[in-house]
Chain A
């Protein structure tokens, strides 16, 4: 049923790959077939463990040493050689023939642009190396070709950048350098393994646009490996869905998004949050968990009935956390310090979730750490409103600080490094109780059992070590630890960024359930707008250490006033074919987090000229107070 179209550059036929582990062969790719037509983009979608990266390694001849192709063919037909077909699976991995194709006719870019480039060689040197290997040029000419390529991938000053090192470049520029390296020999096929996963959303849009533009320019086919359905919907002509080493479904992007057939694909589409979700609508996790919430967990019996009436009660709940004029400078010794957080003020209402959004380096995590008192603020105030009176968190010291600690807890981004590999789950969950001396030995153990049930884990796992759990399970252990002391406020620092989509939905739902049943208040720090949209009732946006906009969720998503918020929203790739990114308008040529690229009324000339301007309904934006409301909302 194949339509007559361009010839296939790459055909993988019934590929099987095994890894030898402890002498035992372990099949990770089980009979995969797929094709990449010339000049088109094919997305290979799957979660971690689906074998998608292994397939790309096999194509490149870069399988780890214990990996073997046991069956099948990888047919590469080079259009430059009149479609002569070579079976890559039969070539010697490091042999001359394979090396000639690798980097020459097939280019590859990777997820981590930082570690993919050598830090001790200039980027020019590394890019030119690829050129000289496959298309030798005289020295001076090679440099000119390299600089032209740097120009093509969007370096402003190619001549200077040639001599720069990777650590002097931002993440986006590093990925551009990688693209230059992969494409300098004008390959027929580009394999992009999660090329934008490690990038901020506006940078992601820029790199995706660049890949599309280069495809036009050079005409290569792209095999795009990703777990992000939003990226797929915006980039792919054809989609292949992999799950545990097998292809679940393959077809055109139209088929996949409009008429998904396989239950796995349907579930995956339902599990990813997007901006259309109504308040109260729930994500459907692939594997639902059933948390068991004991009665005595709820905060104070007198408060419990009040929560039920929350929905009908018009009065706003009281403010729990109030942050005013928070400021933090790093490396300020010589005055040339970097302002990480600058004059940030916001309130978090009791029982509410405030989403704190921003790109890397915006200072959002620093704010979370300062509230936790794990980093000290330079100035400003952090007040927690207690029925007994306000508590100045910054002024707490010694025993008072220690006694206050249980009321605020944190959930971390990395579920691997945030749990000690040398402690059992029981020890991990009990540790906060031991530190605070809460209850007897037996009580603590009973509590740990309850907490495990609370996060949907079997209490029999308490004696195990973290390494025997999956990422999502580990994150749930981290949540159990965070709620062990019955806190009021939990700071979630990118709690689902390291998780797969299916697991992400599970953890988000768990957090929502716990919030409702335990009356928790969240400060939810994330770079992922869709996730924040799902979790938060109010959203605060940070850029370059400043809070640029704050408001109720709908106001932010529908009436964003600040140019940075608008750019951020426009750059999010949605898993929806009808709302593809408009690369022509959504991609600003310059970095939108840089105030220099904002319109006059948001830039502010003199320091201190900008202030939070109220747009009504708790929606405030950082702007020049002299501007009228109309000016700001029209922008």
Chain B
């Protein structure tokens, strides 16, 4: 039963991803110009001459002289085999461009998500069980601040005060001397020392909204009759809380794991730009600006894959956790 469910879900992923990739490709094709025209124009504007023979070569190599449909299937076929195309801007394969930054991105995002959970869960539970207390109002206010203040603004404020008060430059993910150096003990230390600031800044908003969500969900569950039943049995308050309402409110939380996977990779673009982090966010932004279509397209498609896989993982986890989904083949909620 469960196995068939998983199999069916995986099969459904294939058409979903095909439609997504077609959409991504269409959007990439929509602008009237392509990377090469933008590049030539940029060069001309700077009074230089572009290397036309090289451009001609690249155009032929990547089939820009052929119809879009053909190019689409060429791209997809290669993507499936692990060849994500060629970044014209960086003049190297997309895989190499992204690869370097991916590890750092995952590190930053993973720490951010972990911090979000560790901070948000106790606060959310406390707020829900002490609804309308002063502490609840206070925590809610701080959480709303976290949601309302844009990350990049927070980053700028941090940078300003760090510089004015401590004379520190907090940009980057490591001391500049370690850039492009192989990984070493000192480099790792430097990364860890720099890590907490982006984690704090990027995590602020997420923590705020997570607290709101946990509080709201738990408050709903606390009204439910089965919680009264649990208390009527004589369960100590904390155990009654964790075994019944908290467990039920986890459903919401798990169904959000699906959104987390792509977020791990895409990072927080604007903040990363402001803090000049060597993550993938700024890369994607730049690729979209310069119409570096294989870089941007492959990256977006990669994100879509992660989204679909994330949703699958959360659905399977839900099926394991909630017998209603497992045994009835559908949520009753």
Contacts and interface: CB of A to CB of B under 8 A. Distances in A.
Interface string A84-104: 000000000010000111111
Contact of B321 (A60, A120, A133): A120
A60 B236 CA distance: 14
A60 B234 CA distance: 10
Given A104-B234, A115-B225, A167-B327, 15 more contacts: A94-B231, A102-B231, A103-B232, A107-B232, A108-B232, A116-B228, A118-B226, A118-B244, A118-B248, A119-B226, A120-B247, A120-B323, A126-B229, A130-B233, A165-B324
Interface of B: 224-226, 228-237, 243-244, 247-248, 321-324, 327-328, 332
A60 B235 CA distance: 13
Nearest to B250: A120
B164 to A, nearest CB: 46
A100 B234 contact: yes
B234 A133 contact: yes
Contacts of A102: 231-234
Contact of B226 (A60, A103, A115, A167): A115
Interface in A165-188: 165, 167-168, 178, 181-182
Contacts of B243: 121
A435 to B, nearest CB: 33
A117 B224 CA distance: 10
Contacts of A112: 225
A108 B232 CA distance: 7
Nearest to B226: A118
A409 B225 CA distance: 35
Give the interface size class of chain A: 20 to 34
Interface of A: 60, 62, 94, 99-104, 107-108, 110, 112, 115-121, 126, 129-130, 133-134, 165, 167-168, 178, 181-182
A62 B247 CA distance: 21
A99 B236 contact: yes
Q: Tell which of B229, B247, B322 has the most Cβ of chain A within 10 Å.
A: B229
14 contacts: A60-B232, A62-B232, A99-B234, A101-B234, A103-B233, A103-B234, A103-B235, A115-B224, A116-B225, A117-B229, A119-B323, A119-B332, A167-B332, A182-B232
Nearest to B322: A120
A531 to B, nearest CB: 27
Q: Tell which of A101, A130, A134 has the most Cβ of chain B within 10 Å.
A: A130
A133 B323 CA distance: 25
A156 B237 CA distance: 34
**Considering the complex of A and B, which 6 residue pairs feature the smallest CB-CB distances, nearest first?**
A103-B234, A103-B233, A115-B225, A102-B234, A130-B233, A99-B234
A130 B234 contact: yes
B248 A120 contact: yes
Q: Tell which of B244, B322, B323 has the most Cβ of chain A within 10 Å.
A: B323
A103 B230 CA distance: 9
A310 B185 CA distance: 102
Contact of A129 (B225, B228, B233, B322): B233
A220 to B, nearest CB: 15
A118 B231 CA distance: 12
A182 to B, nearest CB: 8
A167 to B, nearest CB: 6
A468 to B, nearest CB: 23
Given A115-B224, A116-B226, A165 B323 contact: yes
A115 B225 CA distance: 6
A100 B226 CA distance: 19
Given A62-B228, A110-B225, A116-B225, A165 B233 contact: no
A112 B321 CA distance: 24
Contacts of A165: 323-324, 327
A74 to B, nearest CB: 15
A458 to B, nearest CB: 34
